[in-house]
Amino acid sequence: MAESMNAARIVFLSGLGVFLLSAVYQWIRVFINANTEDFTQPKGTVLPAFAYALTGAMMPHKKETAFLHLPTYWMGIAYHLGSFVALAWLPVHFFEWRIPDSIMIVCAAVLIPSVFSGLIILIKRISVSSLRHLSSPDDYFSNALVTLFQAISSMALLGIIPVFLVLSIGGLLLMYIPVGKLRHVIFFLIARFFLSWFYGRRGVWPPKRRILWKKNNH
């Protein structure tokens, strides 16, 4: 058991290393090439737009991709929440910290709808023609890997399977993130920031619904 655990720790550390190296490399690349010199005469500001991009603009009543697909939206939320919970447990497993049973049960309970969401999203990808045509093997694999990781995490929390399995799968998942579409983890905030730059500077985000009168306009 101790040997398996040590091997799992090595897999986890390797995965974490690959993920961090890749993320830092990509962030530096973006930062160095950020090209943020903007010569336009602004009609709005970027930071409130960024705040809006991460709050109001993500709300289901504002986002068409959400309100037209509410079940998928909520499954997506559950799925991402589950991923964060499962990832947060990895250091706990690694150091074998003792955590109260009640917390473990709550986390396992959070992971159950998340796993089901992952499975339904996967089935949807396989069965809906437009999604199938959009997908490469990576899309199915990424979905399956994350769902498997969540399922194993919840089972480990309930003491059904040994912890070294979670650490190993978690390590493999971290290692795989930079390869395929899971890399959106690295780029999500940056993409949203650049979109906020675009809409913020032009006064589109956050929506104002009023005119800021300037003297020189009349």
Partner 1 sequence: MEKKQSLTRDREKALKGFAMSMDGRLLAHLNSCVHCGLCAESCHYYLSTGEEKYMPARKVDQLARIYRRYHTVAGKIFPRWIGASDFNDQSIQEMVDVLFGGCTMCGRCSLHCSIGVDIPFLVRTARSMLVELGRVSPGLQSTVDAAVQTGNNMAIPREELVDTLQWLEEDLRMEVNDEKASIPMDVPHCRLLYTLNPREPKFFPLSISAMAKIFYAADESWTLSTHCYDVTNYAYYSGDDHTAEELTQRLFDEMIKLNAQELVLAECGHGSRAIRWEGPRWLKKKFPFPVISVIELIAGYIHSGRIAVDPSKNTTPVTLHDPCNLVRAGGVIEEQRYVLKKVVSDFREMTPNRENNYCCGGGGGQLSMGEYRERRVAAGKIKADQIKKTGAAIVATPCHNCIDQLMELNKEYSLGVEIKTVGELVADALIL
Nearer to partner 1, 62 or 109 (CB): 62
Query: Judged by CB, which is closer to partner 1: 139, or 161?
Result: 139
Cβ at position 130, least distance to partner 1 in Å: 5
Rg (CA), the chain: 21
Residue-by-residue DSSP string for 7-26:
HHHHHHHHHHHHHHHHHHHH
For the bound state, the minimum distance from the C-beta of residue 16 to partner 1, rounded and expressed in Å, comes to 19
Residue 10 to residue 85: CA distance in whole angstroms: 21
Q: Give min distance, CB of 159 to partner 1, in A.
A: 33
Q: Which residues of 198-211 are buried (b: 16+ CB within 10 A; e: fewer)?
A: ebbbeeebbeeeee
Which amino acid is it at 19? F
Pick between residue 92 and residue 141 the one whose CB is nearest to partner 1.
Answer: 141
- What are the distances in angstroms from CA 94 to CA 12, 167, 172? 8, 7, 14
Shortest spacing between CB 11 and partner 1, in angstroms: 20
CB of 78 to partner 1, least distance (A): 14
Which residues are CB-contacts of 50 (< 8 A; sequence separation ≥ 6)? 192, 193, 196, 197, 200
Nearer to partner 1, 2 or 211 (CB): 211
- Residue closer to partner 1 (CB basis): 95 or 213: 213
Q: Which positions touch partner 1 (CB under 8 A)?
A: 26, 29-35, 38-41, 43-44, 53, 63-66, 68-69, 72, 76, 128-131, 133-139, 141, 179-181, 183-184, 186-188, 190-199, 202-204, 207-211, 213-214, 216-218
The CB-of-210 to partner 1 minimum distance in angstroms stands at: 6
Token pair of 33 as six digits? 């090439």
CA distance 7 to 1: 10
Nearer to partner 1, 153 or 196 (CB): 196
